[in-house]
Amino acid sequence: MVEIVVAPNAGFCFGVKRAVKIAEESTGKFKGSRIFTLGPIIHNPQEVDRLRRLGVKPLEDEDLREGDTVIIRSHGVPPEKERLLREKGVNLVDATCPYVKAVHEAVCQLVEEGYFVVIVGEKNHPEVIGTLGYLKESGGEGTVVEDLKDLEVVYKHERVGVVSQTTQNERFFKEVVGELALWVKELKVINTICNATSVRQEDVYRIAPNVDVMIIIGGKNSGNTRRLYTISKSLNPNSYHIEVPEELKPEWFEGAKRVGITAGASTPDWIIERVKAKIEEICGERSSSS
């Protein structure tokens, strides 16, 4: 029989659970209003579909009208965007994760203290775009670092402040901070990596080397899931990234005795359960046919 190890910290983080709950509640609070989220509320098409059935859909090319309801998802938005929405007279529901708000506040604090700001994160990630908005709004200077090469423009600054995208890889963050400490005169680091991300990554470091197959569940466009997969693959070549149980292939599990499962921050529990059941089914068929 196959043993399945589900990572204790797999799946939804606090901020995502909270945003989904806020979206669900808005269907009661703003009954009769069209309810939109600014972009998919989470990186999970299945969960987005479930919410759509409840009446909450991602804003696409609809023109917003007074009285519409708009939910800012957990990633947050630049303050300018928020202002523009308020001017349209929509009901604005802010589901920005409190940990992301903490990054915005940290950036504003560093600007006030006169630091050039480094945001360690992905340049095109919505959270980072939101954070950059706060940097601009507060009149500060700074840059996003997603590769050590991006540090070149930073070295000419004497006083540098660092924050992180909440879902950043800890090892890269450590590398950036270490490099900067050698180059700049004064460095202030406010570690804004969300604990949910780090414990989820620690699970992978612990489980992946000790199983025959490691399955990572999550949106193919989710940065934090892709990082879990990258970490897992470096520790165990039999690592696979899937979105739904239908993608599981029986040949992955040939001879496997222990299978690990984890999931990115946007994966609901019911998908994890379905993946687990499907693996048990595949391995069960295999042992009964052998």
In this chain, which stretch among 17-25, 31-39, 188-196, 224-232 interacts with a copy of itself, using CB under 8 A? 188-196
Question: How far apart (Å, rounded) are the C-alpha atoms in residues 37 and 42?
Answer: 10
Shortest CB 151 distance to a copy of itself, Å: 13
Question: How far apart (Å, rounded) are the C-alpha atoms in residues 145 and 173?
Answer: 10
Applying CB under 8 A, the site for a copy of itself has a residue count of 21
What is the residue whose two structure tokens read 């080397």?
209
In this chain, which stretch among 7-15, 185-193, 204-212, 239-247 interacts with a copy of itself, using CB under 8 A? 185-193
193 part of the interface to a copy of itself, by CB under 8 A: yes
Figure out which of the listed residues 70, 189, 196, 261 binds a copy of itself, where binding follows CB under 8 A.
189
Question: How far apart (Å, rounded) are the C-alpha atoms in residues 145 and 154?
Answer: 9
Figure out which of the listed residues 18, 34, 136, 188 binds a copy of itself, where binding follows CB under 8 A.
188
46 part of the interface to a copy of itself, by CB under 8 A: no
Residue closer to a copy of itself (CB basis): 14 or 183? 183
Here the tokens at position 130 are 């939101």
Residue closer to a copy of itself (CB basis): 64 or 190? 190
Catalytic residue IDs: 127
Figure out which of the listed residues 186, 247, 281, 285 binds a copy of itself, where binding follows CB under 8 A.
186
The count of other CB atoms within 10 Å of the CB of residue 204 is 27
Residues 66-105 that bind a copy of itself (CB under 8 A): none
Among 38, 40, 39, 41, CA closest to 22: 41
Cross-strand bridge partners of residue 161: 117, 188
* First-last CA distance in the chain: 12
Residue closer to a copy of itself (CB basis): 33 or 191? 191
Per-residue x/- track, 153-182, a copy of itself (CB under 8 A) = ---------x-------x--xxx-xxx-xx
Residue closer to a copy of itself (CB basis): 108 or 177? 177
Residue closer to a copy of itself (CB basis): 25 or 186? 186
Shortest CB 140 distance to a copy of itself, Å: 18
The count of other CB atoms within 10 Å of the CB of residue 249 is 10
CA 36 to chain centre: 20
Q: Please say whether the beta carbons of 274 and 226 come within 8 A.
A: no
Residue closer to a copy of itself (CB basis): 69 or 168? 168
Shortest CB 121 distance to a copy of itself, Å: 15
Q: Please say whether the beta carbons of 264 and 204 come within 8 A.
A: no
108 part of the interface to a copy of itself, by CB under 8 A: no
Query: How would DSSP label each residue in 62-128?
Result: PPP-TT-EEEE-TT---HHHHHHHHHTT-EEEE---HHHHHHHHHHHHHHHTTPEEEEES-TT-HHH
Interface contacts to a copy of itself, rule CB under 8 A: 162, 170, 173-175, 177-179, 181-191, 193, 198
